[in-house]
Structure 1
Amino acid sequence: MASNHLYLVDGSGYIFRAYHQLPPLTNRYGLNVGAVYGYTAMLWKLADALDKADGPTHLAVVFDKGSHTFRNDLYDKYKAQRPPAPEDLVPQFPLFRDATRAFSLPCIEEAGFEADDIIATYTMKAIAAGWDVTIVSSDKDLMQLIRPGVDMLDTMKNERRGADYVMGKFGVPPEKLGDVLALMGDSVDNVPGVPGIGPKTASKLILEYGDLESVLAAAPAMKPSKMRENLIANTEMARLSRVLVDLHREVPVPHALDELRLDGIPPEPLRAFLEDQGFKTLLSRLAAHAPGKDKADPVAGAAAGSATPAAEVALPDFVPLPPIDRDAYETVTTLERLDAWIAESYASGIIAIDTETDALDSISANLAGICLATAPGRACYIPVGHRSDDGMFAEAPVQIPLADLVARMRPLLADAAVLKIGHNIKYDLNVLKRVGLDVAPIDDTMVMSFDLDAGQSLAGHGMDEVAQAVLDHSCIPFKEVAGTGKKAISFAQVPLDQATRYAGEDADVTWRLWTRFQPRLAREAATRVYELVDRPLIPVVAGMERAGIKVDREHLSRLSGRFAQEIARLEEEIHGEAGQPFTIGSPQQLGAILFDKMGLKGGKKGKSGAYSTDVTVLEKLKADGVKIAGLVLDWRQLAKLKSTYTDALQAQINRDTGRVHTSYSLTGAQTGRLSSTDPNLQNIPIRSEAGRQIRDAFVAEPGNVILAADYSQIELRLAAHMADVPALREAFRRGEDIHAATAQELFGEVNRDTRGRAKTINFAILYGISRWGLASRLEIEPDEAQAMISRYFERFPGISAYINETLEKARATGFTETLFGRKTWFPQIKAGVQHIRQGAERAAINAPIQGSCADIIKRAMVRMTPALEAAGLDRVRMLLQVHDELVFELPEADVEAATPIIRAVMAGAAEPLVSLSVPLGVEIGTGPSWGAAH
């Protein structure tokens, strides 16, 4: 090692990693400083490594001075598409500089240049002086600087990256990376590149021709192709891109190399900064560094400090992770190696597991193989169902016989002493159950991610999205191994070497995600909702999916024919009103008919130039007496019901079971409600006749009946409890008609009109409805709607207080909580754009109530089967969960015994975690079909 080792920290990268890693925290001035806290702790950990073998002797943190640099003068669209920094992050920017200076570290930024250019300049100076350099960043542009004596450090992965990493990721050495980046462009920085050329093509061209200029010179002689045309047409853009991605290596920097020396962490001015921000946990770490005391580990020391204030949390104690090496995963094709992996799994006590199949549907897919991970970086793939892609007579690859796999793995997967981790493990439970394997106990990193970060990101909680966000790792896309379109193959046809890299990565990443999420559950108060609501629900929902429900195909076929006739009749009537035939399903043609030909008022064109014809526009026209608008709404509903249900359900009947098996998602709805797909049962209209006819198609087997158990007005009941509304609580306790009681309070009388209005207001208020929204629903003027809202809050002041308190908390913390501690994050609650902010506010008002409803029905589902089995009613099967309803199939002889048990479990589901001040009403009905049970 050289005597001097310079660390150059990409400050912007640290800032955004800290911002996304930590929840919002508030200092004594009321300023959100969550990212500042995370940045400070991360910087401390880095600076604290100065005594270690690879630690820095010199260190500087480099920032971007502003958004305009010399690159904008060269290309005015450079970085033009970058979104602005998050609203709650902008006020923290000065504090990042303050935190850096508090460590007595150089904080460097230069106008007209990017941080990357300053880092490149110092790197060149250090190399010339014979120093080693470590660039603390994961930015691909900075990888151009890697060479002997220069590496990069990704602190999130604890991974050092050299020339081999660049070669593996981009296919070229670091000195050629700029040419590759110029060809492929960069959508984030708006570097144009050459259209149609991606990373693989770019690296192939550079390897073949040597550099960018050689590629451009050779383009006219290449064989005719779209790539050749693009290279010729975009020659100058490619050259401009090469200049944009190149790093300026001669920035006039303010400090000489020797001025960057790191001589420990002086207690001042760091102590003053930590005290000013109220970071007590970090202050305790500073005390551990005081003279006469052993130097504390920067992460472990945080846990030993004084009590952490409510506004502050400690950074998770993440274990270091080795780099992901897909070539290190083993393909297990002998029983000897399978036994060795099983033994290793027992020794580990914690394994990640994932199944690979030949289809997406867990109820019909065949098992292709199982992947296991016993530790980060230690994974294998066990193929059992792969077949050759060379024709029906080709030999299948050597693999473990399925019967042997099942026999050997059955004890392991059922062993209570070995934790099995999956990402969406519900899918794996179903696949493995169908080959005779039960899996318990389980953890699910997808559900963990949801319980910790619901609402934090629009990306979702799938493995690829979470791996990118949490591990900064890009998983192999499925299409890369299985292809797309006509060339797509099933996973069972993927060659074993490729299958092992893909499947092993799934298990490896799952293990790594668990190390990140599991410590956060307790620290971020998510343990209760995960352990007592969501995790025990996973095997319950998996069992419901396997059970499915019988569907009457003939009834559906008749409905499809009936709907088709009604759709044809509506089309004829709509065309008559329009005075000409047109495609009703085309918003563009419909808009032209309504607002150009018929001259109706209220037409608004979007960016495409077409009129909006969404449901809001049509409902307003209908309210104004425009007949064609009502007809189109009816047509749309029938057309959707026909395509989504009466036609599609017939195709979704499983050929082996004769039943339809919907797939439930525990992470699909931000508030915690279950969602379903294939079919989506949540969207069947509840009150319409057409919806009832569709529910009539869901039937019981001969000798059985369908039982539907529905929570009665559960959201209003929870609102009465959570908002502490005595009038509503007493009405529920007395079993009164709650909408009639509200009508009496608001209007002084109860009749059909006032009760209907009260019902609309009761539910609308809980969704944070605006005066205009309520006016639209009640078909009244906005001022009259506002008067009703004001009167409602006067009569029920607890509701108004609940709404205000909920919004205040959401603005202060960034999230809301259910009665069971489920957090839902609202990053847009302080958005500068009014309609986005108001949308977040409406969602925040309802989330605690709707989320508490979801938690309660989930707890009922977990307790249901044990309660029924304890009563000897093991033939009662829970089949569906839709909104606030559970649907069962049971022998008709068991209805009388099962009904009180189902009612009692549902009514008492909140206990003992939450004691409600209102009773939970449960309405139960039975019949030969789901529709008849209502």
Structure 2
Amino acid sequence: MPKTSPAAATKPAAVKAPAKGDHVFLVDGSSYIFRAYHALPPLNRKSDGLQVNAVLGFCNMLWKLLRDMPEDNRPTHLAIIFDKSEITFRNKLYPDYKAHRPPAPDDLIPQFALIRDAVRAFDLPCLEQAGFEADDLIATYVRLACERGATATIVSSDKDLMQLVTDCVTMYDTMKDRRIGIAEVIEKFGVPPEKVVEVQALAGDSTDNVPGVPGIGVKTAAQLIVEYGDLETLLLRAGEIKQPKRREALIENAEKARISRQLVLLDDKVALDVPLDELAVHEPDARKLIAFLKAMEFSTLTRRVAEYSQIDPADVEANAANKSGASSQPSPARDKSTGASGDLFASPAAPASPKPGADKQDKAASLKGTPILLAAARAEAAQKLPVDRNKYQTIRNLDQLNAWIARVHDVGHIAVEAKANSIDPMQTDICGIALALAPNDAAYIPLHHRQSGSGEGLFDAGLAPDQIGVGEALAALRPILESPGILKIGFNIKFNAVMFAQHGIIIRNHDDAQLMSYALDAGRNAHGLDALAERWLGHATMSYGELTGSGKGKLSFDQVAIDRATAYSAEDADVILRLWRVLKPRLVSERMTAVYEMLERPLISVLARMERRGISIDRQVLSRLSGDFAQTAARVEAELQELAGEPINVGSPKQIGDILFGKMGIPGGSKTKTGAWSTSAQILDELAEQGHEFPKKILEWRQVSKLKSTYTDALPTYVNPQTHRVHTTYALAATTTGRLSSNEPNLQNIPVRTEDGRKIRRAFIASAGHKLVSADYSQIELRLLAEIADIPVLKQAFRDGLDIHAMTASEMFGVPIKDMPAEVRRRAKAINFGIIYGISAFGLANQLGIAREEASAYIKKYFERFPGIRAYMDETRDFCRANGYVTTLFGRKCHYPDIKASNASVRSFNERAAINARLQGTAADIIRRAMIRMEDALAEHKLAAQMLLQVHDELIFEVPDDEVAATLPVVQHVMQDAPFPAVLLSLPLQVDARAANNWDEAH
């Protein structure tokens, strides 16, 4: 009889041979750990900041299998099966098998041991066996179960296990609550389960390094297997294949295909250490399970287990071995770490010189301490290891590049920084690509540098020698850039993503050091590469101006000498990697991982796709508007000259100031530091409100001139000659509150409340056969104010669908909502929105054209009627003064370090900004979540709509005419439910969505 494993030995005797009617569940534990880690939002244990999202996902899955499955589909036998990280028979057959798998993420490694502890807390068998993968054990157990007349369920969605599906065996994906049977396997592979290994042998698997036959994918492999029956017959008859490339590939790689089949075929005859009979399910020790869950601080699941077992959790002590501060060693499962590394990859006591395998020391250090200690150690090490540009390499041929690529596979991550000739990623040339694997271990691949000649065309002598062709280099780099198993680390990596996408390469699995800095320090630090290098590394980077020069002699990047470009570019990649190593543990230690993983990182690829789609404009509409604006500007300018009584340059602030406050003697002027009169918009607004005609005309002229120069004249110059559309660029790390900004061109500042601004929006049009759909959150910041400040009357008004401004006017002024005068509602609206932005009595008086005393009385009455709003504002201000930041409902920190400034106006501004930031920031987080989920939702409903623009609380889509009716409810549903389940709002969000031929009509 096989011996019992230590895991099984801890389990109370529960031996029952499976029989007909029994149901054996086998959980692919190793696979599920990684799925849970990547699928669930980051979760940090409050007591020590340890990330435990994979542990929670695993525990929820086990509870679901034991308690939440239907009565007729619960397991009678259940085991959790893990890989044992030792050499298996497959490595002996093919040494490179799984050789390039990346190391596990740092914040997942401590969870391996805790997951095994979780399995034992549930009193379930925790199985692994030397020399075999978990899949082989699963294959053997399901064979035995079926032979005894039982049915089997494999809890996994791993394609490698689909070969085991039969009438007796199904797979179950608990995350999607989806069953995978024979039909689903055929849908995925194009062949029934028994032929899956034949298809996999041909297609190979880059993740596991199964070679397969180059050039043959799953679809082609399925067609070949359907036609020829099996792999061996296909290989014997390969000479019959009509397509030359396919025929040659099959003949030349026949042996690789045969080896691949052996690698993917599961062994279902393993001599099991733990017999199937010993997997019988029994009741776990509820107190032991509660003790573990309390130590992990899983309050919801603790409560569910306690309620089910009728035990008061207060009577159970948390398991001391799993509590904060207790040390757990990682499981060896997939804990592979190889490759060169330096001081940043080790504990502070490690040698400064690069040392292979030092990364393991770092991981061990992280387990012995806490995330806070790891973050501190990384920051200290970063300051100690100097940047040495002399160690950088220039990669000039494919052999050198392929050698680097092989090292990337060993390490599992790479810092990437492509250098461009333009700020437009849609149209620029890729001049070169910098890579970094470790501190001072960086290189530059020049691709498109020009050599200098003589005479007028100084750089007309063609490309510099010894450069790899762009196509060749990108073809070599494509597998690592597109590999989901290799982490690409960048800085504003979206720019690179758009550039590479223009060459048909989609970057998968990326981190962005700039966005990490932004998630951690929005509002208190600059997030440029140079500033961060100075702050965290104590290093002054080579400046772009130092590289290219300035003035008439300024060089474009492709004109920079290759040796200089190498020093500059490789340094950037090196610095990016070092910053990533410093900032990554800070996310965990400061509990900002959820913000980065939920709101920042997933949005990168979404925005990259939006930027590449662009939007169409009607140039004729803009041309007519430009003419109209020019006439209006000329008319206003003539009126101003008549008012001034002399010829004037309307665009000269000095001359305007002299006329206003000198010649006309209008009071209320102030001077700038240079001694000139200030003619800021605020001052002109105040004077216009007082009834002065000259400043009113100046404002009108400035507005129409800006619309003409910024939009009607400029927009046509942004039309891409290839796509014939306008492509804006979004910045994620630009504001303190999480709002996106738009530039080149800025499409977020087109006025929407003026008729002229709306005219410009009419020039944004749908392409033929399509409509533009505008979906806009209605009064979202007011709803969030009611939610966060907990104002019952406002909350009820939103629930009842009332006109919130009319309701406010009724509450304040005692006027019935029905037949309310428009002026009364307008005043309430101004107060509602003004309160959000911390408006003063002076500001409200100017906005409404009333006396300051009257405006002050309005604000006082507003706070008396809604006292919770004043309390919210006071609490937010006090919290920010004490902590230097405020948080959104999603945990984003918005820092306002100047809230304690000695300058009263600076202090007051920061107080108002902090109060608004919780509302504006939460609204920004909500629309980010909507954007991240939108594309999958549209694809799930098989809709062709494409998201084009985001303008604060509004999303713009281009939708085929015949899909508009089906698209609108999907868009509304995704936007309205965007906060869930991370944040549960008591108030419903309202989204207005309309379709039209242009943006103005749709809004």
TM-score by length of 1: 0.66
User: Aligned-pair distance for 1:529?
Assistant: 0.9
Which string of whole-angstrom CA distances, capped at 9 and with x for unpartnered residues, describes residues 450-508 of structure 1? 11111113xx3111121122212111111222222211222112111111111101100
| Structure 2 CA distance for aligned equivalents of residues 883 and 416 of structure 1 | 31
- The residue that corresponds to 2:830 in the other structure is 760
SS of residue matched to 2:900? coil
SS at match of 2:1002: coil
CA distance in 1, matches of 2:701, 2:433: 47
Task: Name the counterpart of 1:396.
Answer: 464
Which residue in the other structure is 2:341 paired with?
A: none
**Partners of 1:307 and 1:822 in 2: how far apart?**
19
Structure 1 residues 302 and 773 mapped into 2: Cα distance closer, same or farther (>3 Å)? farther
1:425 is aligned to 2:493: yes
Matched, 1:614 2:680: yes
Who is 1:825 aligned against? 895
Give the drift of 1:718: 0.7
| 1:869 Cα deviation from its structure 2 partner | 0.7
Tell me if structure 2 keeps the 8 A contact 1:768–1:842: yes
Q: Deviations over 1:56-78 (max 9, x none)?
A: xxxxxxxxxxxxxxxxxxxxxxx
Indicate the residue corresponding to 1:506 in structure 2: 572
Partners of 2:922 and 2:371 in 1: CA distance: 30
Matches within 5 A, 1:508-907: 508-749=574-815, 750-873=820-943, 875-907=944-976
- Is the CA contact (8 Å cut-off) linking 2:371 and 2:589 kept in structure 1? no
Deviation at 1:734, TM superposition (A): 0.9
Structure 1: tracts of 5 or more residues without a match: 1-283, 286-294
Pair 1:320-2:390 in alignment: no
Superposed displacement of residue 535, structure 1: 0.7
Q: Distance in 2 between matches of 1:779 and 1:525?
A: 47
Query: What's 1:926 paired with?
Result: 995
- What's the secondary structure of 2:738's corresponding residue? coil
d(CA) in 2 for partners of 1:932, 1:296: 61
Q: What residue identity is the alignment partner of 2:691?
A: G
**1:366 pairs with 2:429:** yes
> Distance in 2 between the 1:925 and 1:742 partners?
27
Q: What amino acid sits opposite 1:509 in the alignment?
A: V
Q: Matched residues in 2 for 1:825 and 1:327: separation? A: 39
**Alpha-carbon distance, 1:305 to partner:** 7.9
Per the TM alignment, residue 781 of structure 1 is displaced from its structure 2 partner at its CA by: 2.8
Report the Cα distance in structure 1 between the residues aligned to 2:632 and 2:775, rounded to whole angstroms: 32
Q: How far is 1:635 from its partner?
A: 0.5
Corresponding position of 1:913: 982
In the TM superposition, residue 608 of structure 1 has moved relative to its aligned partner by 1.5
Counterparts in 2 of 1:572 and 1:313: CA distance versus 1, 3 Å: farther
Residue 784 of structure 1 aligns to which amino acid in structure 2?
A: E
Aligned to 1:434: 502
Q: Within 2, Cα distance between the matches of 1:419 and 1:394?
A: 35
Kept after mapping to 1: 8 A contact 2:375/2:585: no
The C-alpha deviation readout for 1:889-908, integer Å capped at 9, x for no partner, is: 11111101111000000000
* Segments ≥4 residues shifted beyond 3 Å: 295-308, 312-319
- 1:438, 1:307 → 2: CA distance? 32
Report 1:59-98 matches (<5 A).
none
Residue identity in the other structure for 2:841: R
Give 1:558 deviation, angstroms.
1.1
Give the C-alpha shift of residue 331 in structure 1: 0.7
CA deviation after TM superposition for structure 1 residue 832, in Å: 1.1
Q: Is the 8 A contact 1:816 1:824 kept in 2?
A: yes
Q: 1:497 to 1:302 in 2, by over 3 A?
A: closer
The one-letter amino acid of 1:919's match is P
| Correspondence 1:449-464 to 2 at 5 A | 449-457=517-525, 460-464=526-530
Relative to the length of structure 2, the TM-score reads 0.62
Offset of residue 773 of structure 1:
2.1
- 1:795–1:427 CA distance, 2 compared to 1 (3 A): same
Note the alpha carbon deviations across 1:743-791, whole angstroms, 9 max, x for none. Answer: 0111111421221111011111111222222222222233322222221
Checking the alignment, whether the CA contact within 8 Å between 2:375 and 2:582 is kept in structure 1 is: no
Write the distance in 1 (CA, Å) between the matches of 2:933 and 2:674.
52
Q: Would you say the 8 A contact 1:406–1:436 is kept in 2?
A: no
Superposed counterparts of 1:85-164, under 5 Å: none
How much has 1:323 moved relative to structure 2? 1.7
Shift of residue 317, structure 1, vs aligned partner: 4.3
Deviation string for 1:439-459 (max 9, x for gaps)?
1101001111111111113xx
Amino acid in structure 2 at the alignment position of 1:821: G
CA drift at 1:525: 1.5
Q: Call closer, same or farther: CA 1:894–1:301 in 2, change over 3 Å.
A: closer
Contact 1:316 1:520 in 2 (8 A): no
Give me the whole-angstrom Cα distance separating, in 2, the residues matched to 1:504 and 1:362: 20
User: Given the alignment, which residue of 534, 537, 546 partners 1:471?
Assistant: 537
Q: In structure 2, the residue corresponding to 1:320 is in which secondary structure?
A: helix
Q: Indicate conservation of the 8 Å contact 2:379/2:536, yes or no.
A: no
Code of the aligned partner of 1:612: S
Q: 1:408 aligns with which of 473, 476, 479?
A: 476
Question: For 2:760 and 2:387, how far apart are their aligned partners in 1?
Answer: 50
8 Å CA contact retained: 1:881, 1:887? yes
- The 3 A distance-change label for structure 1 pair 795 and 314 is farther
What is the DSSP-based 3-state SS (H/G/I as helix, E as strand, rest coil) of the residue aligned with 2:468?
coil
1:550-587 Cα deviation digits (max 9, x unpaired): 11112111111110011000000111111111111111
Secondary structure class of the residue paired with 2:626? helix
Query: % of aligned pairs identical?
Result: 48
Q: How far did residue 925 of structure 1 move?
A: 1.3
8 A Cα contact 2:375 2:583, kept in partner: no
Aligned to 2:167: none
SS in 1 for 2:776: strand
SS at match of 2:899: coil
Cα displacement string for residues 33-82 of structure 1 (whole angstroms, at most 9, x for unaligned residues): xxxxxxxxxxxxxxxxxxxxxxxxxxxxxxxxxxxxxxxxxxxxxxxxxx
Give the root-mean-square deviation of aligned CA atoms. Answer: 2.2
Matched position secondary structure for 1:353: strand
Correspondence list, 1:38-437, <5 A: 315=376, 317-318=378-379, 320-321=381-382, 322-390=385-453, 391-394=459-462, 396-437=464-505
Encode CA deviations 1:716-757: one digit per residue, 9 max, x unaligned: 011111110111111111111000010011111142122111
**1:332/1:380 contact within 8 Å kept:** yes
